[in-house]
Amino acid sequence: MSLRSAAALVLLSVLLTGMTAWAQPLTLPSLNADKPAAQPEVLTAEQAFELIHAEQSAIKTEADGSRLLELRWNIAPGHYLYRDQLRMLDAQGQPIPLQIPEGRPLSDAFFGSVQVFHRELRIHAALPERSVQWPLELQWQGCAEIGICYPVQQQIISAAQAGMDRNADAPTPALNEDNMQAAQPGLLQALALPPSVRIGPLALPTMALAAFLALLASQWWARLRQRQSNQPVEKLLLHATLAGLVAARAAYVVQWWPEYWEPVSASPANALQILDIRDGGWNLWAGLLVAALWAAWSCRSHALLKRGVLQSLGVGAFILMAAYALRNWVEPPASSLPSLTLVNAAAQPMDLRSYGGQPLVINLWASWCPPCKREMPVLAQAQKDHPGVRFIWINQGEDAAAVLRYLQSMPLPPAQVLLDPDQLVGQHWQQRSLPSTYFYDANGRLRSTRTGELSRASLSEQLRIIAPPTQAP
């Protein structure tokens, strides 16, 4: 059993990738280079920009019957809010009209020519009447004059908080089969397995954990049968398992042979990529079939031994197939793009929801992460080969200087490289391991997630899900 367990642990250690990246402010020394070296204490975003919570008394009714909510910030000395970064979205992601006064012009090192506000800011938002538009999401962003640029801040405003009656004037939507299923996920959706499971600061691929559990369960059953029959069930099970692993990898390589052959033809040294199982490339069905055939052939003259080995394989196969079905065949509850605004390497604010309408690949990375850097050329080439798919690289936990230094050695489109120094995107997905890649279809639905390094083959496999060849440009 120790040999089998050791093999499983080796497999998991190879598949395991990622380290924890901690949040840090986005420091821009060029914002105020003429300041003395000694800097005052850095305030948090909440201390620098205090939002006065919305109350019913802050609502006023216009002549046309529309209602406006007044929002007010107290801005700490030495700090300012960007006018262009103020926005409000309803529950459906649609913008809410805002009445914002003119700000003071400023030539900003990061955003260029902008308007900013100091000390205090008051704006008014048009309140929606339909209940489906609530709650609202308010966003704002600001900087400190000492050279600290804060990430985009968010505040959820509920209808009750704003003194609105959500039931008033709210039409009752007609219930049909589609929206009933959407509103009330079934039992299978609740059983859908996530792409990875967090254990402390680490995220392990779900299928790798399922394989580990299948190995332990089949080994336990084999030992039980061996004691009952006095036959070498464990030994034959180990041989069948190894044969299945080799077949599963070989079948995957054959299935995606063009993706493996192209780098090998460029350099024979790349042939080692065929053996690199860190890309998670396995053909489950080929592996199970070969393992069963191997066991049946090896024990063809020993009926009792064959029964024990096949039963042990069946226990592990059941766990693997159940996990595979719940991971790949059961559609989890819908997960849309997060409503976050980040700044890209071209100093432009970008709302992640603006990338909807086309297949989208979002890669979370850091320059200190070795597997991130190994897979980066693969992702960059895929963007060139698939112009109909948008690739977005979101850096986690590093400042602008570190990202720009890395881009000097790995040329990526600056407009498609986003900065997330506080790891807001990682928090949204509850993901702390790098690299992590998310695949959205043209309808904005999350179709697949990959934790760990991608190869040309495993990336092509995921791209086929969100952009089938018949739809790809």
Please, are residues 291 and 244 in contact by the beta-carbon 8 Å criterion?
Answer: yes
Stretches where the chain sits below pLDDT 50 are 1, 4-6, 8-39, 56-57, 166-184, 471-473
Question: Which pLDDT score is estimated for 334?
Answer: 56
Helix and strand tally (H, E) in the chain? 13, 23
Question: Which pLDDT score is estimated for 6?
Answer: 42
| DSSP-assigned letter for residue 421 | T
* Interatomic CA distance for residues 261 and 254, integer angstroms: 10
* Interatomic CA distance for residues 222 and 1, integer angstroms: 10
| DSSP-assigned letter for residue 19 | -
In the chain, where are the structural domains located?
A: 26-172, 200-329, 341-466
Dmax (CA) for the chain in angstroms is 93
Question: Which pLDDT score is estimated for 324?
Answer: 81
* Interatomic CA distance for residues 79 and 142, integer angstroms: 7
* Interatomic CA distance for residues 48 and 43, integer angstroms: 6
Please, are residues 84 and 114 in contact by the beta-carbon 8 Å criterion?
Answer: yes
Within 184-230, strands assigned E span 196-199, 202-205
CA-CA-CA-CA torsion sign (426, 430, 431, 432): positive
Tally of CB atoms within 10 A around 383: 17
> What residues does 360 pair with on adjacent strands?
390, 440
Question: Which pLDDT score is estimated for 186?
Answer: 56
What b/e readout covers 137-166, taking b as 16+ CB neighbours within 10 angstroms?
Answer: bbbbbbbbebbbbbbbbeeebebebbebeb
Question: Which pLDDT score is estimated for 231?
Answer: 82
Q: Can 26-172 and 341-466 be said to share one CATH topology?
A: no
129-148 per-position pLDDT tens digit = 777 777 888 889 888 887 67
Q: Which residues contact 347 (CB under 8 A, 6 or more apart)?
A: 110, 111, 112
Plot region of 166 (φ>0 → left; ψ -120 to 50 → alpha; else → beta) = alpha
Please, are residues 46 and 151 in contact by the beta-carbon 8 Å criterion?
Answer: no
* Interatomic CA distance for residues 73 and 26, integer angstroms: 22
ω into residue 469 within 30 of 0, thus cis?
no
Class in CATH terms, 26-172: mainly beta
Q: Whole-prediction pTM value?
A: 0.54
Class of residue 457 by CB neighbours under 10 A (exposed 0-12, middle 13-18, buried 19+): buried
Please, are residues 49 and 81 in contact by the beta-carbon 8 Å criterion?
Answer: yes
* Interatomic CA distance for residues 135 and 244, integer angstroms: 52
Question: Which pLDDT score is estimated for 118?
Answer: 94
Under DSSP, is residue 399 helix (H, G, I), strand (E, B) or coil? coil
Mode of pairing for the β-strands spanning 142-144 and 136-140:
unpaired
* Interatomic CA distance for residues 93 and 136, integer angstroms: 9
Q: Estimate the crossing angle of helix 257-266 against helix 233-255, to 10 degrees.
A: 70
* Interatomic CA distance for residues 471 and 306, integer angstroms: 48
What b/e readout covers 233-263, taking b as 16+ CB neighbours within 10 angstroms?
Answer: bbebbbbbbebbbebbbbbbbeebeebbeeb
> What residues does 73 pair with on adjacent strands?
51, 121
Tally of CB atoms within 10 A around 330: 15
Domain 341-466: CATH superfamily is Glutaredoxin (3.40.30.10)
Please, are residues 309 and 74 in contact by the beta-carbon 8 Å criterion?
Answer: no
Question: Which pLDDT score is estimated for 330?
Answer: 64
Please, are residues 342 and 152 in contact by the beta-carbon 8 Å criterion?
Answer: yes
Question: Which pLDDT score is estimated for 127?
Answer: 84
